[in-house]
Chain A
């Protein structure tokens, strides 16, 4: 088999194993805690007896633990996450819309943070040791240190004082939108503050990652060689340094996705953004364990898959990785 195929196979096997472990963990965490939260909840009087009967059949709550475990794996893979105690509907019906709303915030914020981070990280590395570098590195570390939720609250204070942007939710409540554009405009206005918050807290780490990655590359022999050949600094930067420094960014971004999701949860809670983070927060307060169980599963699996894609992409673009 080709070197690449071999690598691909290894990564996919690891992903499958990880997903299996995540499901296992998810199962036992919610069954073995004092009082067995899941079993208590599925006998909850808030559910109709028909719903309880369905759950009993689907999850085998009267069967021995190991059989429940098989059923749980099976149901997880099929997307059957049970019934939300709080919303009294199938968990997937609560989960998927939240997931979409999260992406509306997460995708532009991450993209913006990465692009800005690459830009300033490049300048910092280029001007290494100067005041510019000191300022950019220092401010990146400062942004990285700011508690997400506090930054969000400070922005809320500012927005209220200047009555500029809406501070809560995704749309103006009770507003009948006359057409799609008005609705989109309302969404964008609500997006501003959460987007700024999340972008700022993510941006710092990407600057530092880019800077250090570039500095590593700038010390390589081939850079000195290009310089001694008489290539201009700008040319060296663009043709030799950047392509090699940007590659590791792909896998670092994927590895940092867990952190990104953490930032997104806090941002969603502060701004009442109806994404998966707010759903997790509300489910904790409502003791809605089925939703919590499913939310963890979905988020963790999504991140594992994103990492496999990033790893494979990286090794495809940089063949050196496969041989190490």
Chain B
């Protein structure tokens, strides 16, 4: 059995991991199928049907513009997944490169990169993001860039600590003896050995990016014009649906964010559990 097959087998037997996977795939389906299964157009407003309570024609009711809330909740999966996955890709990519360089070269390079990492881990990212996103103005691309570029530090730190030990392994030494270039060794020899940890870390990065995107929209910065769960919650808060007790307005979008984040965290944790034998359950 190859290492990948072994990993997949362990993952398939991991309850947390499989639960997470099912959750995430459900939401991916929801985002993809939204245009086909939604009862209404997400942009169609209806001045005669605003702030309706739930009824057969509008299971979750309507918002202040008369838009169908179920439709908006279904479409909301799209932006969460797009921003979550893209920001995480940027964060994990940057973290990987920083971690590889830092761990492989050591010395001054390591010192500089790690102090930058310390800095980015410590600073209050959400405050930073609110301010940058507010100054940059509403745009999904900006939000992806801001989240991605401020979230790479934890990945860099983990990758570096792994590279520190891997670079001492004999196969790296033999590659070096064969005059392989540093970049070649880093990406051809070291990278495959850290990739599995990278995936686990990426799942957590997606989870935190989904949270951050929703939080930014809730605070009124970032891509406020796109249909999103954070936006629906903000709207419910602003239009007084909350004080009216409109459960169907507030409950679904937040619940979706919660479950989707939970799904990614479960997958990430399962990967970590499989790779770190100390955390692995002992079967009697």
Which residues of A sit under 8 angstroms from B242, Cβ to Cβ? 153, 156-157, 160
Q: In the assembly, what is the distance between CA of A14 and CA of B237, in Å? A: 42
CB-CB nearest 8 A-B residue pairs: A150-B254, A262-B126, A145-B262, A145-B261, A258-B124, A261-B124, A129-B281, A33-B135
Q: Mark A246-268, 1 if CB is under 8 A from B, else 0.
A: 00000000010111011001100
Contacting B266 at CB < 8 Å: which of A128, A141, A261, A304? A141
Q: Which residues of A contact B105 (CB under 8 A)?
A: none
The answer to whether B269 touches A141 (Cβ under 8 A) is yes
- In the complex with contacts A212-B279, A303-B122, A150-B258 CB distance below 8 A: yes
- CB of B132 within 8 Å of the partner chain: yes
User: Is B115 an interface residue when CB atoms closer than 8 A count as contact?
Assistant: yes
CB neighbours (8 Å) of A304 from chain B are 122-123
Chain B residue at smallest Cβ distance from A30? B135
Known contacts A153-B242, A215-B279; A280 and B123 CB within 8 A of each other: no
Question: B233 at interface (Cβ–Cβ under 8 A)?
Answer: yes
B245 part of interface (Cβ distance < 8 Å): yes
Pairs across A and B, CB under 8 Å, 10 listed: A17-B115, A129-B282, A154-B250, A156-B242, A157-B242, A160-B242, A266-B126, A280-B127, A300-B123, A303-B124
The residue in chain B whose Cβ has the minimal distance to the Cβ of A212 is B279
A274 at the interface (CB under 8 A from B): no
Determine if A141 and B211 form an interchain contact, defined as CB atoms under 8 angstroms apart.
no
Q: A128-B282, A299-B124 are in contact. List 16 more A-B contacts (CB 8 A).
A: A18-B119, A18-B122, A33-B135, A147-B214, A157-B247, A258-B125, A262-B124, A262-B127, A262-B215, A269-B218, A280-B127, A281-B219, A284-B131, A296-B131, A303-B122, A303-B124
Seen from chain A, the residues whose Cβ lies within 8 Å of a Cβ on chain B are 14, 17-18, 21-22, 29-30, 33, 37, 128-129, 138, 141-142, 144-151, 153-154, 156-157, 160-161, 212, 215-216, 219, 255, 257-259, 261-262, 265-266, 269-270, 280-281, 284-285, 292, 295-296, 299-300, 303-304, 307
Q: Which residues of A contact B215 (CB under 8 A)?
A: 147-149, 262, 266
Residues of chain B within 8 A of A157, CB atoms compared? 242, 245, 247, 250
A284 touches B257 (CB 8 A): no
Contacts of B121 in A (CB 8 A): 255, 258
- How far is A258 from B258 in the complex, measured between Cα atoms in Å? 21
Q: Is B7 an interface residue (CB 8 A)?
A: no
Task: Looking at the assembled complex, report how far the CB atom of A301 sits from the nearest CB atom of chain B, in whole angstroms.
Answer: 10
Is A299 touching B254 in the complex (CB atoms < 8 A)? no
Report the minimum CB–CB distance from A16 to chain B (whole Å).
12
Write the nearest CB–CB distance from B240 to chain A, whole angstroms. Answer: 11
Given A149-B215, A149-B218, A299-B127, is A258 in contact with B278 using a C-beta cutoff of 8 Å?
A: no
CB-contacts of B242-284 with A (<8 A): 242-243, 245, 247, 250-251, 253-255, 257-259, 261-262, 265-266, 269, 278-279, 281-282
Chain B interfacial positions (CB closer than 8 Å to A): 16, 115, 118-119, 121-128, 130-132, 134-136, 207, 211, 214-215, 218-221, 230, 233, 236-237, 242-243, 245, 247, 250-251, 253-255, 257-259, 261-262, 265-266, 269, 278-279, 281-282
**Are B219's CB and A284's CB within 8 A?**
yes
Q: In angstroms, how far is the closest chain A Cβ from the Cβ of B253? A: 8
Interface of chain A, main secondary structure: helix
Residue numbers in A under 8 Å from B282 (CB-CB): 128-129
**Which residues of the other chain, A, contact B219 by a CB distance below 8 angstroms?**
265-266, 269, 281, 284
**Would A284 and B115 count as touching, CB distance under 8 A?**
no
CB–CB B218/A284 < 8 A: no
**How many Å from the CB of B201 to the closest CB on chain A?**
15
| In the bound complex, CA of A265 to CA of B127 (Å) | 8
Kindly report which residue of chain B lies nearest to residue A150, judged by CB atoms.
B254
CA distance A122 to B265 in the complex (A): 21
Option from B128, B207, B237 in Cβ contact (under 8 Å) with A145: B207
Min Cβ gap B158→A in Å is 13
Contact of A284 among B123, B134, B247 (CB under 8 A): B134
* A255 contact set on B, CB distance < 8 A: 121-122
B123/A303 in contact, CB under 8 A: yes
* CB-based nearest A residue for B125: A258
